[in-house]
Amino acid sequence: MPTELSELIMPNISNIAVKTITGEDKMLSDYAGNVLLCVNVASYCGYTGQYSGLEALNKEYGAKGLKVLGFPCNDFGAQEPDSNEKIATFCETSYGVTFDMFDKVKVLGASKHPLYAELTTTTPAGDVKWNFEKFLVNKKGEVIGRYPSSATPASLAQTIEAELAK
């Protein structure tokens, strides 16, 4: 039984392919050496205001190596029914989002995106519960933290700072 955290096998997302919100293919390994905050987002959710906090983290820590990654999702209450183009416009005009946004994904069920299949093996393992659930990924692509929708982006700042300092 491992006794050190470094001995534990952590989920790793580096080899997963995604599509940007404009349709370009991208590998998450392109973000190697950065700390990532992956968030399933929705435009018509009670937590949608968290876009402001996510953008604030992006502005505060982006130059220091944090990459906020937004993954629109329509799995909860049909709160993200729009096209990628409309989502991108909404995020830019309503919240000034400049962080990377991606193609709409499924986070539940048999057609769950491979990214979320890997992210949800993180302790506590299990399905994403709602929009704006957050996953923190270290510079090696290892999933090191999972936070519920109710966790504000600002509440993650100290953890992000510590991870950036490593």
The residues annotated as belonging to the active site are: 45
Q: In the 8-state DSSP scheme, what is residue 41?
A: E
Tokens representing residue 157 in the block: 């700042």
Structure tokens at 84: 């990628």
Q: What are the Cα distances from residue 127, in Å, to 73, 156, 160?
A: 13, 21, 23
**Separation between Cα atoms, residue 137 and residue 145, nearest integer Å:** 7
d(CA 117, CA 94): 30
Pairing state between β 66-72 and 100-101: parallel
Give me the sign of the Cα torsion angle 48, 42, 97, 82: negative
Q: How far are the Cα atoms of 70, 71, 115, 120, 138 from residue 107, in angstroms, in the given order?
A: 13, 9, 9, 9, 21
